[in-house]
Amino acid sequence: MERIVMVGASLAALRAAETLRGEGFDGSVTLVGAEAHRPYDRPPLSKKLLAGEWEPDRVALRKADAFDALDVEWCLGVAATGLDLAGRTVALADGSEVPFDGLVLACGARPKALPGVPFTEPAAAADARPLVTALRTLDDSLALRARLASGDQRVVVIGAGFIGLEVAATARGLGNDVVVLEGASAPLIRALGAEMGAAVSAFHADHGVEIRCDVRVAGVDASGVRFEPVDGVSEVVPADVVVVGIGVEPATDWLEGSGLELRDGVVCDATLAARGAPEGVPVFAAGDVARWPNELFDEEMRVEHWTNAAEQGMVAAKALLSCATGEEPGPYAPVPFFWSDQYDRRIQFLGRASADDDVQIVSGAVDDRKFLALFGREGRLRGALGLNVPKLLMPHRALLEQRISWDDALARVE
């Protein structure tokens, strides 16, 4: 194995490249990225960078000399358009091809758009009213920041997930008027369930942000955002800026016809090896695009969080090297972890939540905006949620790794 290619030049690919070099791999490493930027950190895009507290150089994942020391070939600003597994090449949008012996798919995901509502082109962002944008890239964040900095904008956020609520908090902190529209019955329902989603997001009202749930967005025009409440009359909320945060879809369209198994991501085995790759052609996936069976939770999952991308990049690189030496890679079975900063609150979650979980607040209270809640299902602890209680939350990682029972988890808290 002399040539390893990473498709996707972000956190997962960077960690994979660093792991290869750290493990002594001295062959060629190529990072292919559709964006023109070297790998940067995405969490600050909706917070510090958007608020104007950081400049773009602060979100770079490494300093320039550290990037150079990796001795990798950067193929940036050009998207991958096809994969030939038999010929072991990746086709690029500029007509060139990149050969490989081993491949890491870390191509991430792209934001979903509202049907019939295109995003505003960045070049027109300064003049567009309203600006309609997602927040996924560095360029997205800078274009949105230019509009929010004055503090006199009417901002409508569509989607009360984590990215939407982070943008809402930042926009409100800059002095803008903010309304959040959500199609589900509660904010954060997909990540935390209805009860805890509503509890965690309650502090937005403290800051003057209105969250409207159970609504369907009908369109965006010069007058604002038209939406229809459940069993209600169509309404319009005025908007200068519309931020669409209704989720993402894995960037796998360029892999159609490659032979890889695709199903809301690249389907992998427990070692992150992509299913459908021919025998002897090592292909692994990492980050937002990877769907794999997590044996710790007895569940197939695709995780869109920072920690997962960082860990999977390292695991994929080590798995490639194991293939080169004829060893069998081990399974990747972590406790998923994510966090979100909104205003002066930090939300942290360990494990996996489901709509039918038993949920119990075991410390603090919702009204105090500070609490710890446990999630259980089928007699087992499945997750732990903390709002501003990091010291109480983090010990539950070990309990989740031990597959502790629900009753034992409650008993330990007591």
Q: How many residues does the chain have?
A: 414
Domain final residue pick, 291, 325, 359: 325
* Residue 204 forms part of a structural domain: yes
From 45, 8, 62, 58, select the one nearest 30 (Cα to Cα): 8
Q: List CB contacts of 43: < 8 A, sequence separation 6 or more.
A: 306
Residue 375 amino acid letter: F
Residues 238, 305 within the same domain: no
- 81 falls within a domain: yes
Task: Verify cis geometry, omega within 30 degrees of 0, for the bond prior to 130.
Answer: yes
CB 222 within 8 A of CB 132: no
Q: Are residues 300 and 361 in the same domain?
A: no
- The per-residue pLDDT string of the chain (414 residues; one tens digit each, 9 = 90 and over) reads 999 999 999 999 999 999 999 999 999 999 999 999 999 999 999 999 999 999 999 999 999 999 999 999 999 999 999 999 999 999 999 999 999 999 999 999 999 999 988 898 755 444 546 899 999 999 999 999 999 999 999 999 999 999 999 999 999 999 999 999 999 999 999 999 999 999 989 999 999 999 999 999 999 988 899 999 988 889 999 999 999 999 999 999 999 999 999 999 999 999 999 999 999 999 999 999 999 999 999 999 999 999 999 999 999 999 999 998 889 999 999 999 999 999 999 999 999 999 889 999 999 999 999 999 999 999 999 999 999 999 999 999 999 999 999 999 999 988
Specify whether 272 is located in the same domain as 234. no
In a domain, 44, yes or no: yes
Alpha carbon of 230 to those of 39, 202, 217, 233, 301: distances in Å? Answer: 42, 21, 11, 8, 31
Listed residues 204, 220, 246: the one ending a domain: 246
CATH number at residue 396: 3.30.390.30
User: Does 253 map to a domain?
Assistant: yes
Residue 140 lies in a domain: yes
The DSSP-derived string for 299-322 is EEE---SHHHHHHHHHHHHHHHHH
Q: What is the DSSP letter of 129?
A: S
Q: What is the extent of the structural domain holding 169?
A: 122-246
Residues 231 and 256 occupy one common structural domain? no
Residue 134 lies in a domain: yes
Strands, sheet with 154-158, edge to edge from the N-terminal-most edge strand:
131-133, 241-244, 154-158, 177-181, 210-212
- Same domain, yes or no, for 128 and 84? no
Same domain, 374 and 289: no
H-run or E-run covering 18: helix 11-22
Within-domain flag for 298:
yes
Total domain count, the chain: 3
Q: Same domain for 134 and 56?
A: no
Whether 168 and 226 map to the same domain: the answer is yes
Q: What is the DSSP letter of 329?
A: P
Query: Rounded distance, CA 218 to CA 183, Å?
Result: 11
CA distances from 220 to 114, 153, 293, 352 (A): 9, 16, 39, 35
Are 407 and 396 in a shared domain? yes
In-domain check, residue 335: no
Q: Measured between alpha carbons, how far is residue 60 from residues 11, 40, 86, 201 in Å?
A: 10, 4, 36, 30
Q: Do 305 and 225 reside in the same domain of the chain?
A: no
Q: Pick from 246, 263, 289: which residue ends a domain?
A: 246
* Same structural domain, 22 and 89: yes
* Whether 64 and 174 share a structural domain: no
Other beta carbons within 10 Å of 146: 13
Q: What is the pTM of this model?
A: 0.95
